[in-house]
Chains A and B, each alone.
Chain A
Amino acid sequence: MNQYFDAKYIFDSIPVLIPFLKVTFMVTGFSVLFGTLFGFLLAAAKIGKNRWANKMAHGYTTMIRCTPSIVLLFLTYYGIPYLFNQFGIDLNSIDKSVFVVITFSLQFAAAMSEVIRTAYESVDKGQYEAAVSVGLSSAQAYRRIVFPQAFVVALPNFGNSLLALIKEGALAYTIGLIDVIGKASLIISSNYNAHALEIYLALSLIYWVVSIAIEQLFSKLERIFGKGKQALKTV
């Protein structure tokens, strides 16, 4: 077994891989941005009274939840250029990361719409009514009363969705994006597939550390923003 496994490769590959986390984080960041915006729209449709919008938003969420990320990824990667091709627009030169961002924005939006909806519904309606009755405008009531409370509820779920997004984002290498995993498979193929296990272990360590860091960050954030909640309860 000694000739197959050499722990040295784990530690040698980590410094090579870490710079490529930048790509992973960039893709994740854009997906979070667009996904959250779209998620807000979906949540608004779910909360709102329009029956068609309601059905469509729920249908969309179910559909996305039932689709493996890799299938969605390839569906956008092959499907979107195909659709544009029908109108005579050539998208072949577009960067791969765009498709990755589109895919994971679509997916994150579905998750976020549920996070936002449950957070919104967790705030008692009386809070809004009380705010309006003391003379706040509707926008003020949302901004100052409803949103800060909903935010605390949404935070842990947002953190979980973010973690899931980062892990699912690992699949971006399948369409040729050079993120951490893409780089790892490049290293492996340049080694003629030797010591693949060590590189994969290095990858798992990197992801593990990132996940733990994000988890810690969110539990800290929860404590900071949850403070007001405790104070309100005692009054």
Chain B
Amino acid sequence: MSGGLDWGFLVKTFFIALSGAPTALAITVVALLIAAPLGFLGALTRINKIPVLHRLAQIYVSFVRGTPIIVQIFIIYSSVPILLTSLFAKFHIQADVYKVNPIWYAFIVFSLYTTATLIEVFRSAINTVNKGQLEAALSVGLTTVQAFRRIIIPQALVVALPNICTATTNLIKATSLGYAMSLQEITLKAKVAANVGYNYVEAYIDIFLIYLIICSLVEYGFKRYEKYLRTYKTVNA
């Protein structure tokens, strides 16, 4: 531990850790793609107060937001194999549940997590759009689906975008917990590399830098897109 930083190791591990970035990003994208429609439907049940579903969505959001994500990971990671074993036994499927790639668990955990966040994001965004907008759209003969697609969503999206950006960066950061499922992403790869010579300081500096770069890029991208949407809005006004 004494002595200066091992710069050679620092540079080498940076690229090892970077090779985990595609996994982290793949999980982020898949989770967002699954969560977006589910979150939107969840938000609609909340807004329209659909009897049972609206309560379920509320409890679901409260649970996911009220418990640490690491605990959610633990729960999914220990419950899904049990469920699968009993299912496989029932249908006589010959497969070893413990050989499933952990990325599948990651997809489940992070999709569920993001769905809860997005339900709230979409709910608040749709609520900011004036009710008159929907009524006006319906009165000129649009169907509800059309009204949402052409009138409500474009307006709500501008409001939702900063929150979607936060949700995305939070999701990317949360993928660092994939190590608990022995998922080969940025953190675990660097950590494994560091285990050899106890170069933990260097490894964590690398991980820190990689997340910093990825999140800054994502934030920048969202800002650009938001600017684009906003100009689009003023031009139309």
A interface residue numbers (CB < 8 A to B):
1, 4-5, 62-63, 65-72, 74-75, 78-79, 81-82, 85-86, 163, 167-171, 181, 196-197, 200-201, 203-204, 207-208, 210-212, 215
A75 near B208 with CB under 8 A, answer yes
B66 near A82 with CB under 8 A, answer no
Residue of A nearest to B217 (CB): A66
CA distance A20 to B222 in the complex (A): 41
A74 near B200 with CB under 8 A, answer yes
C-beta contact mask, B1-28 vs A, less than 8 Å → 1, else 0? 1100000000000000000000000000
A26 vs chain B, min Cβ distance (A): 17
- State the total of A-B contacts with C-beta under 8 angstroms: 111
Residue of A nearest to B83 (CB): A1
A68 near B71 with CB under 8 A, answer no
CA distance A1 to B85 in the complex (A): 8
Residue of B nearest to A88 (CB): B2
Asked if B33 is at the interface (CB within 8 A of a chain A CB), the reply is: no
B169 near A66 with CB under 8 A, answer yes
Contact sample, A vs B, 29 pairs, CB 8 Å cutoff: A1-B82, A65-B169, A66-B169, A66-B173, A66-B214, A66-B216, A67-B173, A67-B211, A68-B177, A68-B187, A69-B173, A70-B176, A70-B177, A71-B176, A71-B187, A71-B204, A71-B208, A72-B208, A74-B200, A85-B1, A168-B68, A170-B71, A171-B70, A181-B70, A197-B75, A197-B79, A204-B67, A204-B72, A211-B62
Residue of A nearest to B177 (CB): A70
The count of chain B contact residues (Cβ–Cβ below 8 Å) is: 39
CA distance A65 to B116 in the complex (A): 21
Q: Which 4 A-B pairs give the minimum distances between C-beta atoms?
A: A211-B66, A170-B68, A66-B215, A68-B176
11 other A-B residue contacts (CB within 8 Å) besides A68-B177, A71-B211:
A65-B169, A66-B214, A67-B212, A70-B176, A71-B176, A71-B207, A75-B208, A169-B68, A203-B67, A204-B72, A211-B62
Asked if B47 is at the interface (CB within 8 A of a chain A CB), the reply is: no
Residue of A nearest to B87 (CB): A1
B202 vs chain A, min Cβ distance (A): 9
CA distance A145 to B130 in the complex (A): 34
Within 8 A of A (CB), among B35-94: 62-63, 65-72, 74-75, 78-79, 82-83, 85-86
CA distance A96 to B177 in the complex (A): 20
Residue of B nearest to A207 (CB): B67
Q: Which residues of chain B are near A207, meaning CB under 8 Å? A: 66-68, 71
B78 near A200 with CB under 8 A, answer yes
A72 vs chain B, min Cβ distance (A): 8
**Given A4-B82, A197-B75, A212-B66, are A66 and B211 neighbors across the interface (CB < 8 Å)?**
yes
Asked if B151 is at the interface (CB within 8 A of a chain A CB), the reply is: no
C-beta contact mask, B164-202 vs A, less than 8 Å → 1, else 0? 000001000110110100000001000000000000110
Residue of A nearest to B194 (CB): A78
Q: Which residues of chain A are near B68, meaning CB under 8 Å? A: 167-171, 181, 207
B165 vs chain A, min Cβ distance (A): 11
A196 near B74 with CB under 8 A, answer yes
Q: Which residues of chain B are near A65, meaning CB under 8 Å? A: 169, 215
